[in-house]
Structure 1
Amino acid sequence: MKKTTIWTIVAVIIIALGGGVIYATHKSSKNNNNATYTQAMASGKNAVTAKKYSEASSDFSHAYDIKNTDEAHNYKDQSDGMVDAINSTKNGNYNDALNTVKDVINQDGGYEVLKNQGKDLRGTINDVKDNYEHEIKPLFKKAKKEEKDEQYKKAVSEYKKVLDLPYINGKYYGKYEKQAEDGIKRDKDLTDSHDESEDSNKEDSSSNSSTDKSEKKESSNTDTSDSTGNAGKTGAGAMGDHKVNGKTVGSSQISQLRKKVGSLGYDSSSWSPQDLIDLYRKSDHSDPSQITKSDVKSYLK
């Protein structure tokens, strides 16, 4: 056999072996990438289950870097949406939070677990918004009015009512809890300063008369503007008492009560959560759905 023929055969063998090595290496790399991608996606899903959405976003982003799939991209967008919605709720931006969580729920090709968690979060956001609008905000408004009238002790009392709310220590109310704590500290300092001023400079009779008129005017305004009678102000239903038959009335029941009052022909938006709880207590029913128009009329007398 000629030398040229032998070298040709050797060259063919070398090329064949080299091609096999390259193919095997490529296949191994591809398999490794698939395994790493699968692992990153699994890690992201575990983080979602634990509601650690920032971690989930990082894992899905890593998976997308390995393999540019719509699945990884969509799951990351949903996780980012949950983070944004939660932060917006904590900051009191409820409409932004609801719009963001709506995108999570409606994400095409999204992760079903995230969609379901988005629906749960939407309910929570609505509950937090309801508590703020009908209970926390009115208390802050009263406190600000007392501060404007230099009734600092009364302002402190209103801020304390905020801190007495059973849900105020929850993760979405930290902003309002701090505002109430700061208000109490500020008005206590102002109370001490005001008292020292009164001790050193006795108020004349006209000043006392002015204060009396201010208090009477406040009392008059309260009587005429409260369309739900004395709800939540005195007795067992005083502000901060959220129990009926020894059990705390949760946000879902408050929402049910509000819908029930509205279905009976009343403006439920004017009822605070405390008003609704007091109605529930007085009606003596075991379920909010059993409340009748007669119960509401009796309560408002």
Structure 2
Amino acid sequence: MEGIRLKKWVWTIIAVVVIAVAGGYAYANHRMTQQTYTAAMTAAKNAVQDKNYSVAEAAFQEALRHKSNDATAQRYLTQTQDFASAESAMGDSDFDSAKSDYTKVKTTADGYSILTQRATKALKQLKTIQLKEDMYQQIYDQAMTEYNGQSYTQSNATLDRIFKDSDAKQSYYTDIYNQAVDLRSANNKAIKGGGDGTPADDSSSSTSATTTSSSSDTTTSDSSTSSTVAGLTDSESAAAKNYKGSNEYTVPKSRTQLNGKTITAAQITAARKTLKAAGIQPGSFSDQDIRDGLIAAQKAGTSFKTYAEKNYK
């Protein structure tokens, strides 16, 4: 009987020791986990302070590996990822995406205060940038309308409002600035061609050099859809007659001119660049389609860009 009591006592001691050891290990493990988590969170916050968001993201993820359900680490991680995404969108001048991501950071409940403050400041800056971009776009559209009306000198004067603004060279406005540069080049080329801003008539020399021995060489194919154009060879006249689409040889003269002046190749090239900038594939349109669009835009009293966005998409 005494032996049985002794055995029970021994087993009780053993159980107490095991529990104590296990408890001590659990405590030590918990303490180590907490220390590792705290170190990771501290490293992440320091990285945010230094604006090193990729390092911050990795550190917040490390913290979550030690506390997978920690709401604070997850919230700060999401904020950091959204802020980094917004910064990247700003670099690409994708202002709509940037605004969306900055807003997510700003409106995060109980978010990391530094990120919240930076997002708030960035949204104010973004508003200013967008207002300025809209202003540059309006200036460019006005200059393009003047170009389409063959007022090349005036178009350049309008574009100067962009070029004289030092902010226009900032990376945010690269696309619209480059479009303005291209349009100025087209204006200068047209001015050089005509001297006074009127484009040179490239067809005049070929027309004057062509003999008019027989009017039958340039007979119109269909008075309702085409017109006689001097200077065509027999084969060119036949090709124009058989052509089923639209070009300058198969449409009335009125569909090849703006303000009584022939639409130039430079104008067509500039219009195609405008389509591309607006996200419209310029290769889908023939030169005559472009001419028709330029004429329609002028009649509507709007820029070619605005007309194309409304009618070509």
TM-score by length of 1: 0.51
CA distance in 1, matches of 2:145, 2:132: 20
Listed as ranges, the matches of 1:120-269 within 5 Å are 120-134=121-135, 136-145=136-145, 148=148, 162=162, 165-170=165-170, 173=172, 176-181=173-178, 184=181, 188=185, 201-202=203-204, 210=260
Report Cα offsets for 1:27-79 as digits up to 9, x if no partner.
Answer: 22211211121122112212222233344334323323322222222222322
Q: Which residue of the partner structure matches residue 75 of structure 1?
A: 76
**TM superposition shift of 1:121:** 1.0
The amino acid that maps onto 1:130 is: L
CA distance in 2, matches of 1:181, 1:36: 51
Native 8 Å contact 1:153 1:187 kept in 2: no
**1:43 matches 2:40:** no
Listed as ranges, the matches of 1:91-106 within 5 Å are 92=93, 94=95, 97-106=98-107
Q: Which residue of the partner structure matches residue 53 of structure 1?
A: 53
CA distance in 1, matches of 2:99, 2:149: 37
Q: Which residue of the partner structure matches residue 31 of structure 1?
A: 31
CA distance in 2, matches of 1:153, 1:33: 72
What is the CA RMSD across the aligned residues, in angstroms? 4.8
CA distance in 1, matches of 2:162, 2:153: 15
Greater Cα offset, 148-157 or 31-40: 148-157
Q: Which residue of the partner structure matches residue 118 of structure 1?
A: 119
**TM superposition shift of 1:181:** 3.2
Native 8 Å contact 2:143 2:158 kept in 1: yes
Report Cα offsets for 1:95-126 as digits up to 9, x if no partner.
Answer: 55445433423322122222221221121111
Report Cα offsets for 1:140-186 as digits up to 9, x if no partner.
Answer: 32454366457889878877864664234545x0xx31453366468
CA distance in 2, matches of 1:159, 1:58: 47
CA distance in 1, matches of 2:159, 2:114: 39
Native 8 Å contact 1:43 1:59 kept in 2: yes
**TM superposition shift of 1:201:** 4.6
Q: Which residue of the partner structure matches residue 21 of structure 2?
A: 21
Q: Which runs of 5+ in 1 are unaligned?
A: 213-301
Larger radius of gyration: 2
Q: Which runs of 5+ in 2 are unaligned?
A: 194-198, 208-252, 263-313
Assess, with a 3 A threshold, how the Cα gap between structure 1 residues 42 and 159 changes in structure 2: closer, same or farther: farther
CA distance in 2, matches of 1:164, 1:52: 35
SS in 1 for 2:60: helix
CA distance in 2, matches of 1:19, 1:169: 72
Greater Cα offset, 141-150 or 57-66: 141-150
CA distance in 2, matches of 1:211, 1:200: 12
Native 8 Å contact 1:48 1:56 kept in 2: yes
Assess, with a 3 A threshold, how the Cα gap between structure 1 residues 130 and 178 changes in structure 2: closer, same or farther: closer
**TM superposition shift of 1:132:** 0.9
SS in 2 for 1:167: helix
CA distance in 2, matches of 1:153, 1:21: 90
Report Cα offsets for 1:240-295 as digits up to 9, x if no partner.
Answer: xxxxxxxxxxxxxxxxxxxxxxxxxxxxxxxxxxxxxxxxxxxxxxxxxxxxxxxx
Report Cα offsets for 1:178-209 as digits up to 9, x if no partner.
Answer: 453366468758977996x95965479x9898
Assess, with a 3 A threshold, how the Cα gap between structure 1 residues 209 and 166 changes in structure 2: closer, same or farther: closer
Native 8 Å contact 1:152 1:188 kept in 2: no
CA distance in 1, matches of 2:138, 2:86: 25
Assess, with a 3 A threshold, how the Cα gap between structure 1 residues 153 and 18 changes in structure 2: closer, same or farther: farther
